[in-house]
Amino acid sequence: MNDAAKLHRAVWELRAEIGHVWLTPSPLDCLRYAFTEAGEAMDAWLRQQRPDDARNNARDADVLDELADCAIMLVSALGPNVLFCIGEPGIDPDLDKVATRIAATLLCPALEILPGFVGRALRQIFSYPGFTLDIALARLEKIRAGVERWLAPVSG
């Protein structure tokens, strides 16, 4: 099982566990969220590469964390029972190309071919320098912890 398939399994295990409060959007909305996460990754990259540019707000986002969020939403778009393969990482890891591939998922004309579109986008993400399954799994744990805090009874 490759890392993307492991992430898919972990995402859907978490969704099954906390799905009563962390609702899964429709496949199209999952792709839209993936697209926004790609934008946040680009924003983080620009902030790292061009720290002297004037920006209207301060942020401390990390490119790899944002790509992990993107990957989570991409596998969420597939549903829990979809099999797919991304092949070996190694394609051009340029963030512009990563973002373009993710944007292309929004143009997928039919759900039955969505796994191919998502697989190619995930391959781009897993090819990005420094990106690992562990980063994505850590983001899932952050989601779990946030939901658990939200559900914890308020002591008074």
Name, in order, each residue with C-beta under 8 angstroms of 72's C-beta and a sequence gap of 6 or more. 7, 11, 136, 139, 140, 143
The answer to whether 10 and 139 are in contact (CB under 8 A) is no
Distances (CA, A) of 31 to 67, 118, 131: 13, 9, 20
pTM: 0.89
Q: What is the 3-state secondary structure (H, E, C) of 106-124?
A: CCCCCHHHHHHHHHHHHHH
* Surface-to-core class of residue 42, CB atoms within 10 Å of its CB (0-12 exposed, 13-18 middle, 19+ buried): middle
Q: Which amino acid is at 98?
A: V
The distance of Cα 70 from the centroid of its chain, to the nearest Å, equals 2
When pLDDT is cut at 50, 70 and 90, the band that residue 88 belongs to is low
When pLDDT is cut at 50, 70 and 90, the band that residue 112 belongs to is confident
Does the pLDDT at position 129 exceed 80?
yes
pLDDT attached to residue 110? 81
pLDDT attached to residue 46? 92
pLDDT attached to residue 84? 67
- Measuring CA to CA, which residue among 88, 114, 96 is closest to residue 30? 114
pLDDT attached to residue 154? 55
